[in-house]
Amino acid sequence: MFSKILIANRGEIALRVIRACQELGIRTVAVYSQADIDSLHVRFADEAICIGGPRSHESYLNIPSIISAAEITDVDAIHPGYGFLAENPHFAEICRSCQITFIGPSPENIRAMGDKMAARQIMRRCGLPIVPGSTNIIKNKEEAIKTARQIGYPVIIKAVAGGGGKGMRICHNDIRLVSSLATAQAEAEASFGNPNVYIEKYIEKPRHIEVQILTDQHGHTIYLGERECSIQRRHQKLLEESPSPIVDAKLRRRLGELAVKAAKFINYLSAGTIEFLFDEKLNFYFMEMNTRIQVEHPVSEMVTGIDLVKEQIRIAAGGKQHIIQEDVQIRGVSLECRINAEDYLNDFSPCPGKIEDLNLPGGRGVRLDTHIYPGYEIKPYYDSLLAKLITYGQTRDEAIQIMSRALNEFIIEPIKTTIPFHKELLANPLFQKGTFSTHFIAEMLNKEEEEEK
């Protein structure tokens, strides 16, 4: 086992990793930007080193500074968390060359799955169902039109190196396709440094469901059920749950076996997620693979009782999984609400500022992963996530009831947050029935706007 780990991240995920390390008896090193000097991950780590200025490229994306901090503190491993450098194959390669263990998959895995077109081809060879789409990069409008007509409208333009909705455009005809192509390419270039895009058939009213896997260096791979991630705003998840309301035991096993097959096919190592897109007839297609711990991993932990971060660390240290597939039982239902510093009535615009009044929810069935405290200053440089509010119930109805109660207890003032949005969402009859798609939030908010007119 490792003796010391550096956490190359900030916020709630940095605290989450520190806690897992403490429970495993591993010392921790926090890195922080000048803006995060008063953050809790700095306070609770055994050691802390400032790695640069407040902007991400000066600090949390500054590979030389992070590696220097790791060498100065003589760590065995680096945990990247999620975001920042978590899916950067170059960073994983540098860790390897410096003989520092990267707690995650190999650089080869990260690179292959980070290229969305390459990932599609790999998973097609593996036997996973793939959404119909282009087999090559779209270079010009003529290729785009030809491909779209072959597939059939509507189609979606996607960035090869994409994620988070960047470089995506939905097109219902040639005119829209031509006008959107250059915009999508420019957005992909600005977001990922890669302008390449491809085209897929656009599935209307889809559901986004993902499968959690764990695989070790001894050839053992397991799946830990699925997560329903269809509650999104512009491809950004807002609420997740496990299990999905539409997945039964037979379908769960089918999805899990395909996810395990995919992981073995690419010789994957560590925690990972295979994401599927479902249509209204429950046909499903491989969408992408996330080669890191997910923001929403707590809901899987709640229904399986398995600590995914600890397992990630054990696997990276060369340990054998002590869990076999037969041990994995899905019990109850867990929900996670992402509490962001955003004004949902103003197009979810960011709301930085100082927290003056704070009351944290608690009680039976409530878990809160957060890094905020009274007096905490929300900076404009980073993601707006303040907390992940997670609840557990024996049934979905109970998990929703506990979440509603916890949201009522949760006070963050005077900052505008997504707490009121989540209250409204949980009260929606269609959400309560589990009848929704990835368009649900946009439809819900559009309906409210129309009613106000």
51 and 138: one domain?
A: no
145 and 286: one domain?
A: no
- For position 416, which CATH number holds? 3.30.470.20
User: What is the tally of structural domains in the chain?
Assistant: 3
147 and 221: one domain?
A: no
User: Beta strand 197-201 with 169-171: parallel, antiparallel or unpaired?
Assistant: unpaired
Contact (Cβ atoms closer than 8 angstroms) between residue 10 and residue 39: yes
Q: Of all helices (H) and strands (E), which one includes residue 239?
A: strand 236-242
Residue 176 has φ and ψ, to the nearest 5°, of: -65, -40
147 and 216: one domain?
A: no
Q: What is the DSSP string of 127-177?
A: T--B-SB-SS---SHHHHHHHHHHH-SSEEEEETT--TTTT-EEESSHHHH
Residue ending a domain, among 201, 216, 235, is: 201
- In 3D space, the residue among 63, 61, 16 whose CA is nearest the CA of residue 40 turns out to be 16
**Token pair belonging to 413:** 């003032």
- For position 20, which CATH number holds? 3.40.50.20
Residue 113 lies in a domain: no
What is the mean pLDDT of each successive set of 10 residues along the chain, which is 453 residues long? 98 99 99 98 99 98 99 99 97 99 98 93 97 92 96 95 82 96 93 92 96 97 98 94 98 98 98 97 96 98 98 96 93 99 95 98 99 98 98 99 99 98 98 97 80 54
193 and 231: one domain?
A: no
253 and 397: one domain?
A: yes
Contact (Cβ atoms closer than 8 angstroms) between residue 272 and residue 105: yes
What predicted TM-score, i.e. pTM, was given to this entire model? Answer: 0.94
d(CA 412, CA 132): 45
196 and 212: one domain?
A: no
d(CA 450, CA 453): 5
**Token pair belonging to 3:** 């003796």
Residues 6+ apart with CB under 8 A from 310: 20, 23, 24
Residue 114 lies in a domain: no
- For position 158, which CATH number holds? 3.30.1490.20
Residue 225 lies in a domain: yes
Residue 126 lies in a domain: no
Instruction: Name the DSSP class of 321.
Output: P
Residue 441 lies in a domain: yes
d(CA 436, CA 362): 29
Contact (Cβ atoms closer than 8 angstroms) between residue 32 and residue 11: no
Residue ending a domain, among 84, 103, 122, is: 103
140 and 227: one domain?
A: no
| Helix, strand, coil shares, percent, the chain, to 5 | 40, 25, 35
258 and 359: one domain?
A: yes
- In 3D space, the residue among 351, 415, 336 whose CA is nearest the CA of residue 383 turns out to be 351
Q: How many CA atoms lie within 13 A of 185 on its CB side?
A: 16
- 66-94 burial, b if ≥16 CB within 10 A, otherwise e? bbebbeebebbbbbbbbbbbbbbbebbbb
Q: What is the pLDDT of residue 150?
A: 95
d(CA 151, CA 132): 7
Residue ending a domain, among 201, 224, 246, is: 201
Contact (Cβ atoms closer than 8 angstroms) between residue 159 and residue 192: yes
- 187-196 burial, b if ≥16 CB within 10 A, otherwise e? bbbebbebbb
Residue 39, SS3? coil
Q: What is the pLDDT of residue 322?
A: 82
Residues 6+ apart with CB under 8 A from 257: 223
Contact (Cβ atoms closer than 8 angstroms) between residue 272 and residue 215: yes
**Number of Cβ atoms within 10 Å of the Cβ of 449:** 9
Residue 115 lies in a domain: no
Instruction: Kindly calculate the radius of gyration of the chain based on its CA atoms and give it in whole angstroms.
Output: 21
Q: Of all helices (H) and strands (E), which one includes residue 27?
A: strand 27-33
446 and 383: one domain?
A: yes
Q: What is the pLDDT of residue 135?
A: 87
Annotated catalytic sites, by residue? 292
Residues 6+ apart with CB under 8 A from 389: 336, 337, 339, 361, 366, 367, 368, 403, 406, 407, 410, 422
317 and 343: one domain?
A: yes
Tally: H helices and E strands in the chain: 15, 22
87 and 139: one domain?
A: no
Residue 165 sits in which domain range? 132-201
Q: What is the pLDDT of residue 450?
A: 55
Residue 120 lies in a domain: no
Residue 28 lies in a domain: yes
